[in-house]
Structure 1
Amino acid sequence: MAAIASIANPMAPREATPTALPTWVETPTATRIMGALSYAQALPDIAVVCGGSGIGKTYAARQYASTGAHVWIATMTPATSGVVPALEEVCAAIGIPAANGAAPLHRAIVQRITGAAGLLIVDEAQHLIPAALDQLRGIHDAGGIGLVLLGSRDLHTRMAGGEAATTLERLRGRIGRRLALGTSTASDAEALAEACGVPAGGARKLLGEVATKAGGLRSVVKLLRVAMIHSPGAAPFTESNLRAAWRDLAG
Protein backbone atom coordinates (compact mmCIF):
# COMPACT_ATOMS: atom_id res chain seq x y z
CA MET A 1 0.00 0.00 0.00
CA ALA A 2 1.41 3.36 -0.97
CA ALA A 3 1.71 5.78 1.92
CA ILE A 4 0.74 9.31 1.11
CA ALA A 5 -0.09 12.63 2.72
CA SER A 6 -3.15 14.55 1.66
CA ILE A 7 -3.29 18.00 0.12
CA ALA A 8 -6.66 19.70 -0.10
CA ASN A 9 -7.47 21.40 -3.37
CA PRO A 10 -7.16 25.17 -3.02
CA MET A 11 -10.14 27.48 -2.86
CA ALA A 12 -10.19 29.50 -6.04
CA PRO A 13 -10.83 33.26 -6.06
CA ARG A 14 -14.09 34.32 -7.66
CA GLU A 15 -12.56 35.60 -10.87
CA ALA A 16 -9.79 33.04 -11.36
CA THR A 17 -9.42 29.28 -11.15
CA PRO A 18 -5.84 28.19 -10.49
CA THR A 19 -4.67 24.77 -11.55
CA ALA A 20 -5.58 22.35 -8.74
CA LEU A 21 -2.94 20.80 -6.54
CA PRO A 22 -2.77 16.99 -6.45
CA THR A 23 -5.19 15.40 -4.02
CA TRP A 24 -2.55 12.99 -2.72
CA VAL A 25 1.21 13.06 -2.74
CA GLU A 26 3.49 10.37 -1.37
CA THR A 27 5.97 11.59 1.25
CA PRO A 28 8.62 9.77 3.30
CA THR A 29 7.00 10.84 6.58
CA ALA A 30 3.60 9.55 5.47
CA THR A 31 5.22 6.24 4.58
CA ARG A 32 6.48 5.90 8.16
CA ILE A 33 3.11 6.84 9.66
CA MET A 34 1.16 4.40 7.54
CA GLY A 35 3.68 1.70 8.33
CA ALA A 36 2.85 2.13 12.01
CA LEU A 37 -0.87 1.94 11.24
CA SER A 38 -0.42 -1.23 9.21
CA TYR A 39 1.65 -2.79 11.96
CA ALA A 40 -0.97 -2.10 14.63
CA GLN A 41 -3.79 -3.58 12.58
CA ALA A 42 -1.89 -6.65 11.43
CA LEU A 43 -0.71 -7.92 14.79
CA PRO A 44 -3.04 -6.47 16.36
CA ASP A 45 -1.12 -4.18 18.69
CA ILE A 46 -0.91 -0.65 20.04
CA ALA A 47 1.14 2.04 18.32
CA VAL A 48 1.75 5.64 19.32
CA VAL A 49 2.59 8.22 16.64
CA CYS A 50 3.61 11.66 17.88
CA GLY A 51 4.93 14.66 16.03
CA GLY A 52 4.68 18.30 15.15
CA SER A 53 1.71 20.00 13.61
CA GLY A 54 1.25 19.76 9.86
CA ILE A 55 3.41 16.71 9.18
CA GLY A 56 0.52 14.66 7.78
CA LYS A 57 -0.56 12.41 10.66
CA THR A 58 -4.27 12.97 10.15
CA TYR A 59 -4.11 12.81 6.37
CA ALA A 60 -2.12 9.59 6.41
CA ALA A 61 -4.69 8.08 8.78
CA ARG A 62 -7.55 9.12 6.52
CA GLN A 63 -5.85 7.66 3.48
CA TYR A 64 -5.17 4.41 5.30
CA ALA A 65 -8.80 4.23 6.42
CA SER A 66 -10.05 4.86 2.88
CA THR A 67 -8.18 1.90 1.46
CA GLY A 68 -9.00 -0.79 4.02
CA ALA A 69 -11.91 -2.36 5.85
CA HIS A 70 -12.76 -1.96 9.52
CA VAL A 71 -10.57 1.07 10.14
CA TRP A 72 -12.18 3.75 12.29
CA ILE A 73 -10.93 7.23 13.18
CA ALA A 74 -12.14 8.93 16.36
CA THR A 75 -10.91 12.51 16.64
CA MET A 76 -10.61 13.96 20.11
CA THR A 77 -10.92 17.57 21.26
CA PRO A 78 -10.80 19.32 24.63
CA ALA A 79 -14.56 18.65 24.79
CA THR A 80 -13.99 14.88 24.64
CA SER A 81 -11.07 14.65 27.05
CA GLY A 82 -12.90 12.60 29.71
CA VAL A 83 -13.73 8.89 29.73
CA VAL A 84 -17.42 9.10 28.77
CA PRO A 85 -17.07 11.78 26.04
CA ALA A 86 -14.12 9.89 24.55
CA LEU A 87 -16.13 6.66 24.46
CA GLU A 88 -19.02 8.52 22.86
CA GLU A 89 -16.64 9.75 20.17
CA VAL A 90 -15.49 6.19 19.54
CA CYS A 91 -19.12 5.08 19.23
CA ALA A 92 -19.71 7.76 16.60
CA ALA A 93 -16.60 6.65 14.71
CA ILE A 94 -17.58 2.98 14.58
CA GLY A 95 -21.20 3.75 13.78
CA ILE A 96 -23.14 2.67 16.84
CA PRO A 97 -25.46 4.66 19.11
CA ALA A 98 -23.94 5.90 22.35
CA ALA A 99 -25.19 4.25 25.52
CA ASN A 100 -25.55 5.96 28.90
CA GLY A 101 -22.54 5.59 31.15
CA ALA A 102 -18.96 4.42 30.74
CA ALA A 103 -19.57 0.71 31.36
CA PRO A 104 -22.44 0.34 28.81
CA LEU A 105 -20.41 2.36 26.30
CA HIS A 106 -17.43 0.08 26.77
CA ARG A 107 -19.55 -3.07 26.32
CA ALA A 108 -21.25 -1.74 23.19
CA ILE A 109 -17.93 -0.80 21.59
CA VAL A 110 -16.31 -4.14 22.41
CA GLN A 111 -19.30 -6.03 21.02
CA ARG A 112 -19.05 -4.10 17.75
CA ILE A 113 -15.31 -4.48 17.20
CA THR A 114 -14.66 -8.02 18.43
CA GLY A 115 -13.69 -10.29 15.57
CA ALA A 116 -13.44 -7.44 13.06
CA ALA A 117 -9.64 -7.61 12.68
CA GLY A 118 -9.90 -3.84 12.65
CA LEU A 119 -8.00 -0.77 13.69
CA LEU A 120 -9.13 2.09 15.90
CA ILE A 121 -7.19 5.28 15.23
CA VAL A 122 -7.57 7.93 17.91
CA ASP A 123 -6.46 11.26 16.50
CA GLU A 124 -5.52 14.29 18.63
CA ALA A 125 -5.06 11.88 21.53
CA GLN A 126 -3.07 14.45 23.51
CA HIS A 127 -6.41 15.92 24.61
CA LEU A 128 -7.36 12.81 26.61
CA ILE A 129 -6.94 12.56 30.35
CA PRO A 130 -4.95 9.53 31.61
CA ALA A 131 -8.11 7.63 32.58
CA ALA A 132 -9.50 8.01 29.06
CA LEU A 133 -6.24 6.79 27.53
CA ASP A 134 -6.29 3.78 29.83
CA GLN A 135 -9.92 3.13 28.85
CA LEU A 136 -8.80 2.88 25.22
CA ARG A 137 -6.24 0.32 26.34
CA GLY A 138 -9.13 -1.62 27.87
CA ILE A 139 -10.99 -1.56 24.55
CA HIS A 140 -7.91 -2.90 22.78
CA ASP A 141 -7.53 -5.68 25.32
CA ALA A 142 -11.18 -6.74 25.26
CA GLY A 143 -11.90 -6.25 21.55
CA GLY A 144 -8.71 -7.67 20.12
CA ILE A 145 -8.20 -4.93 17.54
CA GLY A 146 -5.29 -2.65 16.75
CA LEU A 147 -5.14 0.75 18.42
CA VAL A 148 -3.15 3.76 17.24
CA LEU A 149 -2.85 6.96 19.23
CA LEU A 150 -1.99 9.96 17.07
CA GLY A 151 -1.00 13.18 18.74
CA SER A 152 1.36 16.04 19.34
CA ARG A 153 4.71 15.90 21.09
CA ASP A 154 2.80 16.48 24.34
CA LEU A 155 1.36 12.98 24.04
CA HIS A 156 4.84 11.47 23.86
CA THR A 157 5.90 13.40 26.97
CA ARG A 158 2.86 12.23 28.93
CA MET A 159 3.25 8.64 27.81
CA ALA A 160 6.85 8.66 29.00
CA GLY A 161 5.85 9.24 32.62
CA GLY A 162 5.26 12.25 34.79
CA GLU A 163 2.14 12.68 36.87
CA ALA A 164 0.22 10.10 34.80
CA ALA A 165 2.88 7.40 35.19
CA THR A 166 0.86 5.11 37.46
CA THR A 167 -2.39 5.40 35.51
CA LEU A 168 -0.71 4.79 32.15
CA GLU A 169 1.62 2.01 33.26
CA ARG A 170 -0.59 -0.73 31.77
CA LEU A 171 -0.94 1.18 28.51
CA ARG A 172 2.79 1.82 28.17
CA GLY A 173 3.50 -1.86 28.72
CA ARG A 174 1.33 -2.79 25.74
CA ILE A 175 2.73 -0.34 23.19
CA GLY A 176 4.40 -2.29 20.41
CA ARG A 177 5.58 0.59 18.27
CA ARG A 178 6.47 4.17 19.08
CA LEU A 179 7.02 6.62 16.24
CA ALA A 180 8.30 10.00 17.38
CA LEU A 181 8.41 12.50 14.52
CA GLY A 182 9.62 16.08 14.51
CA THR A 183 8.68 18.49 11.77
CA SER A 184 8.19 17.68 8.12
CA THR A 185 11.43 17.11 6.27
CA ALA A 186 13.03 18.57 3.18
CA SER A 187 12.43 15.17 1.55
CA ASP A 188 8.69 15.54 2.21
CA ALA A 189 8.76 18.94 0.57
CA GLU A 190 10.73 17.53 -2.37
CA ALA A 191 8.08 14.85 -2.96
CA LEU A 192 5.36 17.49 -2.86
CA ALA A 193 7.30 19.81 -5.16
CA GLU A 194 7.86 17.04 -7.69
CA ALA A 195 4.15 16.17 -7.78
CA CYS A 196 3.15 19.81 -8.16
CA GLY A 197 5.64 20.59 -10.91
CA VAL A 198 7.72 23.04 -8.89
CA PRO A 199 10.94 23.64 -10.84
CA ALA A 200 14.25 22.52 -9.37
CA GLY A 201 16.51 25.12 -7.81
CA GLY A 202 15.59 28.02 -5.56
CA ALA A 203 11.86 27.33 -5.61
CA ARG A 204 12.25 23.82 -4.22
CA LYS A 205 14.87 24.97 -1.74
CA LEU A 206 12.38 27.48 -0.33
CA LEU A 207 9.72 24.78 0.05
CA GLY A 208 12.22 22.62 1.90
CA GLU A 209 13.00 25.46 4.29
CA VAL A 210 9.30 26.12 4.95
CA ALA A 211 8.60 22.42 5.55
CA THR A 212 11.00 22.31 8.49
CA LYS A 213 9.35 25.27 10.24
CA ALA A 214 6.32 25.15 12.51
CA GLY A 215 3.33 24.06 10.46
CA GLY A 216 5.29 21.61 8.31
CA LEU A 217 3.73 20.58 5.03
CA ARG A 218 0.56 22.42 5.94
CA SER A 219 2.51 25.65 5.57
CA VAL A 220 3.99 24.45 2.29
CA VAL A 221 0.51 23.77 0.89
CA LYS A 222 -0.67 27.20 2.01
CA LEU A 223 2.36 28.72 0.29
CA LEU A 224 1.55 26.92 -2.96
CA ARG A 225 -2.08 28.02 -2.77
CA VAL A 226 -1.15 31.65 -2.29
CA ALA A 227 1.35 31.47 -5.16
CA MET A 228 -1.38 30.06 -7.40
CA ILE A 229 -3.69 32.92 -6.48
CA HIS A 230 -0.91 35.45 -7.11
CA SER A 231 -0.25 33.95 -10.52
CA PRO A 232 -3.31 32.00 -11.74
CA GLY A 233 -1.87 31.53 -15.22
CA ALA A 234 1.00 29.33 -16.31
CA ALA A 235 4.00 28.55 -14.10
CA PRO A 236 2.82 29.95 -10.74
CA PHE A 237 5.59 28.19 -8.79
CA THR A 238 8.58 30.25 -9.78
CA GLU A 239 10.97 31.18 -7.01
CA SER A 240 9.96 34.84 -7.17
CA ASN A 241 6.24 34.01 -6.93
CA LEU A 242 6.81 31.64 -4.03
CA ARG A 243 8.92 34.14 -2.14
CA ALA A 244 6.28 36.82 -2.63
CA ALA A 245 3.63 34.40 -1.36
CA TRP A 246 5.79 33.53 1.66
CA ARG A 247 6.16 37.20 2.54
CA ASP A 248 2.36 37.45 2.55
CA LEU A 249 2.01 34.42 4.83
CA ALA A 250 4.84 35.33 7.16
CA GLY A 251 3.68 38.92 7.55
Structure 2
Amino acid sequence: MKTKPMLLVLMTLCLPSWAVAMPSLARDYKFEAGYMPSCNACHLDGGGSELAPYGKAFKAAGKNAAAFAKIANTDSDGDGISNRLEIQGKSNPSDKSSTPKAPGDWLDIASLIPREVRRAFPDVLTWLPKDALLTPADIMAAKALGATLSTDDDNTIYIPLVARRPAGTGLIFPAVYQGKTFFLLMITDRQLTIREISVLHADKVPSAKGLSVYQQFAGQSVKHVKAETKTALEKSIETAVRHAGVLLYVRLKGA
Protein backbone atom coordinates (compact mmCIF):
# COMPACT_ATOMS: atom_id res chain seq x y z
CA MET A 1 0.00 0.00 0.00
CA LYS A 2 1.37 3.43 -0.92
CA THR A 3 1.76 5.72 2.08
CA LYS A 4 0.32 9.20 1.76
CA PRO A 5 2.33 12.19 3.05
CA MET A 6 1.58 12.83 6.71
CA LEU A 7 1.26 16.17 8.45
CA LEU A 8 2.91 16.65 11.84
CA VAL A 9 2.01 19.78 13.76
CA LEU A 10 3.31 19.02 17.27
CA MET A 11 7.07 18.91 16.93
CA THR A 12 8.28 21.48 19.47
CA LEU A 13 10.62 19.02 21.15
CA CYS A 14 12.38 18.29 17.88
CA LEU A 15 12.15 21.83 16.51
CA PRO A 16 13.16 24.08 19.41
CA SER A 17 13.92 27.13 17.27
CA TRP A 18 11.24 26.59 14.62
CA ALA A 19 7.98 27.48 16.36
CA VAL A 20 5.06 25.43 15.11
CA ALA A 21 1.83 26.91 13.77
CA MET A 22 -0.77 26.28 11.12
CA PRO A 23 -1.72 29.14 8.76
CA SER A 24 -3.93 31.58 10.67
CA LEU A 25 -6.61 31.71 7.98
CA ALA A 26 -6.88 27.92 8.09
CA ARG A 27 -7.36 28.11 11.85
CA ASP A 28 -10.11 30.73 11.42
CA TYR A 29 -11.71 28.55 8.76
CA LYS A 30 -11.59 25.56 11.12
CA PHE A 31 -13.21 27.63 13.88
CA GLU A 32 -15.96 28.69 11.45
CA ALA A 33 -16.51 25.35 9.71
CA GLY A 34 -15.41 22.80 12.28
CA TYR A 35 -12.67 21.21 10.14
CA MET A 36 -9.27 22.14 8.73
CA PRO A 37 -9.39 23.11 5.03
CA SER A 38 -6.84 22.61 2.31
CA CYS A 39 -4.92 25.74 1.30
CA ASN A 40 -6.70 25.39 -2.04
CA ALA A 41 -9.85 26.87 -0.53
CA CYS A 42 -8.16 30.26 -0.88
CA HIS A 43 -5.15 29.65 -3.16
CA LEU A 44 -4.78 28.08 -6.59
CA ASP A 45 -1.75 26.06 -5.53
CA GLY A 46 -1.01 26.35 -1.84
CA GLY A 47 -0.26 29.20 0.52
CA GLY A 48 1.61 32.06 -1.11
CA SER A 49 0.32 31.31 -4.61
CA GLU A 50 -2.33 33.25 -6.53
CA LEU A 51 -5.68 33.59 -4.81
CA ALA A 52 -8.53 31.30 -5.85
CA PRO A 53 -12.11 32.65 -6.20
CA TYR A 54 -13.05 32.19 -2.54
CA GLY A 55 -9.72 33.65 -1.45
CA LYS A 56 -10.29 36.73 -3.59
CA ALA A 57 -13.77 37.18 -2.11
CA PHE A 58 -12.43 36.66 1.41
CA LYS A 59 -9.72 39.29 0.86
CA ALA A 60 -12.20 41.79 -0.59
CA ALA A 61 -14.47 41.26 2.43
CA GLY A 62 -11.74 42.27 4.88
CA LYS A 63 -9.60 39.15 5.31
CA ASN A 64 -10.71 38.62 8.90
CA ALA A 65 -13.10 36.50 10.95
CA ALA A 66 -16.06 38.72 10.01
CA ALA A 67 -15.39 38.13 6.30
CA PHE A 68 -16.77 34.59 6.48
CA ALA A 69 -20.27 35.88 7.22
CA LYS A 70 -20.01 38.64 4.61
CA ILE A 71 -19.46 36.17 1.77
CA ALA A 72 -21.41 33.21 3.16
CA ASN A 73 -24.41 33.69 0.87
CA THR A 74 -22.40 34.39 -2.28
CA ASP A 75 -21.22 31.76 -4.75
CA SER A 76 -17.50 32.30 -5.30
CA ASP A 77 -16.89 29.42 -7.73
CA GLY A 78 -20.11 29.85 -9.74
CA ASP A 79 -21.42 26.31 -9.26
CA GLY A 80 -24.84 27.43 -8.07
CA ILE A 81 -24.16 26.58 -4.42
CA SER A 82 -23.51 29.26 -1.80
CA ASN A 83 -20.23 29.40 0.06
CA ARG A 84 -22.09 28.63 3.27
CA LEU A 85 -23.53 25.38 1.89
CA GLU A 86 -20.20 24.44 0.31
CA ILE A 87 -18.40 24.81 3.62
CA GLN A 88 -21.12 22.98 5.53
CA GLY A 89 -20.93 20.16 2.97
CA LYS A 90 -17.11 20.01 3.16
CA SER A 91 -16.67 20.91 -0.49
CA ASN A 92 -14.21 23.46 -1.87
CA PRO A 93 -15.87 26.90 -2.27
CA SER A 94 -13.24 27.81 -4.89
CA ASP A 95 -13.75 24.80 -7.16
CA LYS A 96 -16.96 24.39 -9.16
CA SER A 97 -16.22 20.69 -9.64
CA SER A 98 -16.32 20.21 -5.86
CA THR A 99 -19.85 20.18 -4.43
CA PRO A 100 -21.40 18.85 -1.20
CA LYS A 101 -22.63 15.79 -3.12
CA ALA A 102 -19.23 15.19 -4.70
CA PRO A 103 -16.58 17.09 -2.71
CA GLY A 104 -13.61 15.29 -4.25
CA ASP A 105 -10.25 14.78 -2.52
CA TRP A 106 -9.44 18.42 -1.76
CA LEU A 107 -9.32 17.66 1.99
CA ASP A 108 -6.80 14.84 1.63
CA ILE A 109 -3.84 15.66 3.83
CA ALA A 110 -1.44 15.60 0.87
CA SER A 111 -3.28 18.56 -0.65
CA LEU A 112 -2.05 20.78 2.19
CA ILE A 113 1.42 20.75 0.60
CA PRO A 114 1.67 22.21 -2.95
CA ARG A 115 2.73 19.58 -5.45
CA GLU A 116 5.74 21.64 -6.67
CA VAL A 117 7.05 21.74 -3.10
CA ARG A 118 6.54 17.99 -2.69
CA ARG A 119 8.40 17.34 -5.95
CA ALA A 120 11.45 19.13 -4.55
CA PHE A 121 11.59 16.60 -1.71
CA PRO A 122 10.35 13.41 -3.40
CA ASP A 123 11.28 11.00 -0.60
CA VAL A 124 9.71 13.02 2.23
CA LEU A 125 6.53 11.65 3.78
CA THR A 126 6.13 14.05 6.70
CA TRP A 127 5.48 17.78 6.36
CA LEU A 128 5.08 20.75 8.63
CA PRO A 129 3.42 23.94 7.35
CA LYS A 130 4.45 26.93 9.46
CA ASP A 131 2.92 30.38 9.71
CA ALA A 132 5.18 33.19 8.57
CA LEU A 133 3.21 35.96 10.25
CA LEU A 134 5.41 39.03 10.57
CA THR A 135 5.57 40.86 13.87
CA PRO A 136 6.81 44.47 14.23
CA ALA A 137 10.12 43.06 15.49
CA ASP A 138 10.37 40.86 12.36
CA ILE A 139 9.71 43.85 10.11
CA MET A 140 12.43 45.87 11.86
CA ALA A 141 14.86 42.94 11.62
CA ALA A 142 14.10 42.58 7.92
CA LYS A 143 14.72 46.28 7.33
CA ALA A 144 18.14 45.95 8.95
CA LEU A 145 18.86 43.23 6.41
CA GLY A 146 17.81 45.45 3.51
CA ALA A 147 14.28 44.13 2.91
CA THR A 148 11.13 46.20 3.32
CA LEU A 149 8.43 43.82 4.51
CA SER A 150 4.94 44.32 5.92
CA THR A 151 2.09 42.17 7.18
CA ASP A 152 0.97 41.91 3.54
CA ASP A 153 3.98 39.60 3.10
CA ASP A 154 2.64 37.05 5.61
CA ASN A 155 3.03 33.61 4.09
CA THR A 156 3.23 29.87 4.71
CA ILE A 157 6.54 28.04 4.96
CA TYR A 158 6.49 24.35 4.04
CA ILE A 159 9.00 22.29 6.02
CA PRO A 160 9.83 18.68 5.07
CA LEU A 161 10.74 16.50 8.03
CA VAL A 162 13.17 13.59 7.98
CA ALA A 163 13.60 11.66 11.22
CA ARG A 164 11.50 14.37 12.87
CA ARG A 165 13.92 17.11 11.89
CA PRO A 166 13.74 19.85 9.23
CA ALA A 167 15.29 18.83 5.92
CA GLY A 168 14.80 22.20 4.23
CA THR A 169 12.03 24.62 3.32
CA GLY A 170 9.70 25.50 0.48
CA LEU A 171 8.19 28.96 0.02
CA ILE A 172 5.85 30.25 -2.70
CA PHE A 173 6.06 34.03 -3.07
CA PRO A 174 4.99 36.80 -5.46
CA ALA A 175 7.08 39.06 -7.67
CA VAL A 176 5.75 42.18 -9.39
CA TYR A 177 6.81 43.59 -12.75
CA GLN A 178 5.10 46.55 -14.40
CA GLY A 179 2.13 46.13 -12.09
CA LYS A 180 1.69 42.44 -12.95
CA THR A 181 2.16 39.68 -10.37
CA PHE A 182 3.76 36.32 -10.99
CA PHE A 183 4.81 33.63 -8.53
CA LEU A 184 8.12 31.97 -7.74
CA LEU A 185 9.15 28.98 -5.65
CA MET A 186 12.15 28.95 -3.31
CA ILE A 187 13.61 25.66 -2.10
CA THR A 188 16.32 25.64 0.57
CA ASP A 189 18.29 23.08 2.54
CA ARG A 190 18.07 22.83 6.33
CA GLN A 191 20.75 25.52 6.77
CA LEU A 192 18.58 27.91 4.72
CA THR A 193 20.91 27.86 1.77
CA ILE A 194 18.99 28.27 -1.48
CA ARG A 195 18.86 25.12 -3.58
CA GLU A 196 16.79 26.58 -6.36
CA ILE A 197 14.46 29.36 -7.44
CA SER A 198 11.92 28.46 -10.09
CA VAL A 199 8.87 29.97 -11.76
CA LEU A 200 5.59 28.65 -10.41
CA HIS A 201 3.00 30.76 -12.23
CA ALA A 202 3.96 33.49 -14.71
CA ASP A 203 1.06 33.61 -17.16
CA LYS A 204 0.82 37.38 -16.65
CA VAL A 205 4.56 37.83 -17.21
CA PRO A 206 5.59 35.03 -19.59
CA SER A 207 8.97 36.69 -20.18
CA ALA A 208 9.86 35.74 -16.58
CA LYS A 209 10.13 32.09 -17.60
CA GLY A 210 13.48 30.56 -18.50
CA LEU A 211 15.71 33.44 -17.39
CA SER A 212 19.30 32.68 -16.38
CA VAL A 213 19.05 34.97 -13.35
CA TYR A 214 17.41 32.19 -11.33
CA GLN A 215 20.60 30.13 -11.47
CA GLN A 216 22.54 32.87 -9.65
CA PHE A 217 20.63 32.32 -6.41
CA ALA A 218 21.58 28.66 -5.94
CA GLY A 219 24.08 28.21 -3.11
CA GLN A 220 23.38 31.58 -1.48
CA SER A 221 22.23 32.08 2.10
CA VAL A 222 18.69 33.41 2.33
CA LYS A 223 20.01 36.13 4.64
CA HIS A 224 22.11 37.80 1.93
CA VAL A 225 20.81 37.38 -1.60
CA LYS A 226 22.56 39.05 -4.53
CA ALA A 227 22.38 38.75 -8.29
CA GLU A 228 23.87 40.48 -11.31
CA THR A 229 20.75 41.90 -12.92
CA LYS A 230 20.69 43.55 -16.32
CA THR A 231 17.02 44.29 -16.91
CA ALA A 232 14.12 45.73 -14.92
CA LEU A 233 12.45 42.33 -14.90
CA GLU A 234 15.56 40.64 -13.50
CA LYS A 235 15.79 43.38 -10.86
CA SER A 236 12.18 42.75 -9.80
CA ILE A 237 12.98 39.03 -9.49
CA GLU A 238 16.08 39.75 -7.40
CA THR A 239 14.07 42.00 -5.09
CA ALA A 240 11.35 39.39 -4.65
CA VAL A 241 13.88 36.63 -3.94
CA ARG A 242 15.77 38.81 -1.45
CA HIS A 243 12.57 39.71 0.40
CA ALA A 244 11.44 36.07 0.46
CA GLY A 245 14.82 34.98 1.76
CA VAL A 246 14.78 37.56 4.53
CA LEU A 247 11.24 36.53 5.47
CA LEU A 248 12.46 32.96 5.84
CA TYR A 249 15.42 34.05 7.90
CA VAL A 250 13.61 36.31 10.36
CA ARG A 251 10.82 33.79 10.94
CA LEU A 252 12.97 30.67 11.24
CA LYS A 253 16.31 31.94 12.54
CA GLY A 254 15.89 35.46 13.76
CA ALA A 255 12.47 35.19 15.40
> Could you state the TM-score of these two structures normalised by the residue count of structure 1?
0.27
Higher relative contact order (CA 8 A, sep 6+): 1
- Which structure dedicates a bigger proportion of its chain to helix? 1
> Could you state the TM-score of these two structures normalised by the residue count of structure 2?
0.27
Larger radius of gyration: 1
